[in-house]
């Protein structure tokens, strides 16, 4: 076991410290160029993507529910522990580089979520399934590649992730109140079993309310701290830019230095928002929307919320706390895990340790739900057997109970390796299918730019009224796609034909 752990640790370090960093940056830059900086040109659409996203599901998973599932995984304990580690190793300047790579990650998130929609499939219960496994199979014509991704992602998210997050829950409760691990195991089982056994719809309903509520609650707490410490908040913001550009020496100890700031900020920005790793694409493919780009925009908004808002909030709280906490000493997961709680307690009071423990618990709980939904999508790619689905659900609940009472380091590292392998497959598929992303985006932009004439309110229907913007609708034979879709969930796609929207300009 010692040799296995050493091998897995070395492999994980190689994947997440070198290989994936460069791949994620390259793919983010690629889609930024191919889409002509969609994250900047359509920043307004991204910011407003949530509006109206809770309607139109027609019995399936709404656009907002799919967004909330992705948010549940993005906004988790990594936003607290990971940001603390980035500050410890890279100093305040790491935050600026975290922002910059998040901008690239927004383009990647848009691309993978749009592809998940383009190549999604309909199920008999009125819901959809889509994601990396599906666009590897339907888009690239490589079902075996999709199967490999589905297996590794299912094991990592459906079995190992409940262990990891359940252990975080019991550790947080134990640190705050001294509760024994077995009590935490019972609590984890009682919370997760009804939701996981309820299927994807149940997970979507819980995530729809819980994930946004906890994110908003955390941001409200941070806002109160910043407003009551305006001088320290302004200085913290200034230090981010000063340290990132090398205008001031780094923090004491290991923190500081331009290169350290760049490396740690880049890694935190890349892995916090999960753009390109494939998970959010699994959630995006489940949504019921009128056009793939619609879901691509709202999932891109998830990157903004995660990195530019939540991670920044955590960094500012720690920096505002300043001398009250040992930032440079938080170079391990355990120390970093307590750093944010120490910062809040030092600024607001010791009474906040229990609410912060509850916050960590709920964040870990929502991560279990979100991650398992990814596993469910991957299992549905492999088989539609209800028995297989039920067995995975039961196994996930049992793994959560086991992880709550015993930290399984080898299992955690194995999950990292599997997620890294899945990410490499996903990034390869994204690069090869880039023309489909561009085609879908051009189709959406053409329809957004077109106008139709309709009756004005109060007039007879045969009297023309003012021109109004159309609601983009996706068709399987859009002239902007590389080729007509011959399979999938969009209108008439199964027959390989469809009627083009009358407001979409024909191809040259």
At 45, give phi and psi (nearest 5°).
-70, -35
Domain with CATH 1.20.1740 in the chain: 2-438
CA–CA distance, 450 with 444 (Å, rounded to integer): 10
The answer for 322, left when phi > 0, alpha when psi is -120 to 50, beta otherwise, is left
CA–CA distance, 150 with 421 (Å, rounded to integer): 11
Greatest C-alpha distance within the chain: 79
Count of beta carbons in the 10 Å neighbourhood of residue 503: 17
Give the distance from CA 225 to its chain's centroid. Answer: 26
C-alpha distances out from residue 103 to 50, 307, 426, Å: 19, 9, 19
Who contacts 266 (Cβ-Cβ below 8 Å, separation ≥6)?
21, 25, 97, 98, 101
Who contacts 35 (Cβ-Cβ below 8 Å, separation ≥6)?
107, 110, 111, 437, 438, 441
Who contacts 181 (Cβ-Cβ below 8 Å, separation ≥6)?
170, 174, 404, 405, 406
CA–CA distance, 440 with 291 (Å, rounded to integer): 8
Contact 120, 63 (CB under 8 A): no
Query: In a structure prediction context, what are the per-residue pLDDT tens digits for the chain, which is 508 residues long?
Result: 677 778 878 887 788 778 888 888 899 999 999 999 999 999 888 888 777 666 655 656 778 888 888 777 777 666 677 777 777 777 788 888 888 888 888 999 999 999 999 999 888 777 788 999 999 999 999 999 999 999 999 998 888 888 877 777 777 676 666 667 777 778 778 877 877 777 667 777 777 777 788 788 888 888 998 898 888 889 888 888 887 766 554 443 344 455 566 666 666 666 667 788 888 899 888 888 889 999 999 999 888 888 888 888 888 888 888 766 666 655 555 666 677 777 887 788 778 777 777 777 788 788 888 888 889 899 999 998 889 988 988 888 888 888 777 766 667 778 788 888 999 999 999 999 999 999 999 999 998 876 544 444 444 444 454 444 557 888 888 899 998 887 777 764 443 333 333 333 333 3
Domain spanning 2-438, CATH class? mainly alpha
Tokens representing residue 283 in the block: 């959630």
CA–CA distance, 365 with 164 (Å, rounded to integer): 11
Tokens representing residue 208 in the block: 């729809």
CA–CA distance, 281 with 149 (Å, rounded to integer): 13
Who contacts 343 (Cβ-Cβ below 8 Å, separation ≥6)?
317, 318, 320, 321, 324, 325
CA–CA distance, 324 with 54 (Å, rounded to integer): 43
Who contacts 95 (Cβ-Cβ below 8 Å, separation ≥6)?
86, 87, 240, 244, 265, 311, 312, 315
Contact 447, 430 (CB under 8 A): no
Tokens representing residue 312 in the block: 């920044």
CA–CA distance, 160 with 166 (Å, rounded to integer): 10
């Amino acid at each position: 076991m010692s040799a296995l752990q050493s091998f897995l640790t070395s492999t994980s370090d190689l994947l997440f410290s070198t290989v994936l960093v460069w791949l994620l940056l390259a793919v983010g830059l690629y889609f930024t160029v191919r889409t002509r900086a969609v994250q900047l040109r359509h920043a307004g659409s991204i910011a407003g993507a949530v509006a109206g996203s809770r309607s139109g599901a027609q019995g399936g998973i709404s656009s907002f529910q799919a967004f909330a599932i992705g948010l549940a995984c993005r906004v988790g304990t990594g936003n607290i522990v990971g940001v603390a580690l980035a500050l410890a190793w890279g100093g305040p300047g790491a935050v600026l580089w975290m922002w910059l790579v998040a901008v690239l990650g927004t383009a990647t998130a848009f691309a993978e979520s749009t592809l998940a929609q383009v190549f999604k499939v309909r199920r008999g219960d009125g819901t959809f399934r889509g994601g990396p496994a599906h666009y590897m199979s339907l888009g690239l014509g490589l079902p075996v590649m999709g199967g490999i991704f589905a297996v590794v992602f299912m094991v990592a998210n459906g079995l190992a992730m409940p262990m990891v997050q359940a252990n975080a829950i019991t550790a947080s409760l134990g640190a705050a109140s001294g509760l024994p691990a077995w009590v935490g195991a019972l609590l984890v089982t009682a919370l997760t079993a009804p939701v996981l056994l309820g299927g994807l719809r149940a997970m979507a309903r819980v995530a729809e309310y819980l994930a946004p509520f906890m994110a908003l609650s955390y941001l409200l707490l941070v806002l109160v701290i910043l407003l009551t410490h305006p001088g320290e908040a302004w200085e913290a913001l200034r230090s981010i830019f000063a340290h990132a550009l090398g205008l001031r020496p780094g923090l004491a100890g290991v923190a500081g230095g331009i290169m350290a700031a760049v490396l740690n900020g880049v890694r935190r920005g890349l892995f916090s928002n999960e753009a390109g790793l494939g998970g959010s694409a699994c959630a995006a493919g489940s949504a019921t929307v009128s056009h793939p780009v619609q879901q691509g925009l709202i999932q891109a908004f998830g990157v903004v919320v995660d990195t530019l808002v939540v991670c920044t909030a955590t960094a500012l709280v720690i920096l505002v706390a300043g001398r009250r906490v040992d930032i440079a000493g938080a170079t391990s997961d355990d120390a970093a895990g307590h750093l944010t709680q120490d910062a809040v307690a030092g600024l607001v009071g010791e009474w906040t340790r229990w609410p912060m423990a509850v916050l960590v618990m709920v964040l870990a709980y929502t991560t279990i739900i979100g991650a398992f939904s990814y596993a469910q999508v991957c299992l549905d790619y492999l088989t539609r057997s209800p028995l297989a689905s039920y067995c995975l659900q039961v196994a996930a609940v049992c793994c959560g109970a086991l992880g709550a009472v015993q930290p399984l380091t080898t299992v955690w590292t194995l999950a990292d390796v599997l997620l890294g392998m899945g990410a490499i497959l996903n990034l390869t598929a994204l690069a090869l299918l880039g023309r489909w992303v561009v085609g879908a985006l051009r189709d959406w932009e053409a329809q957004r730019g077109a106008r139709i004439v309709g009756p004005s309110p109060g007039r007879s229907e045969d009297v023309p009224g003012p021109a109004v913007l159309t609601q983009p609708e996706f068709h399987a034979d859009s002239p902007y796609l590389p080729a007509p879709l011959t399979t999938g969930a969009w209108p008439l796609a199964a027959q390989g034909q469809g009627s083009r929207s009358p407001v979409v300009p024909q191809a040259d």
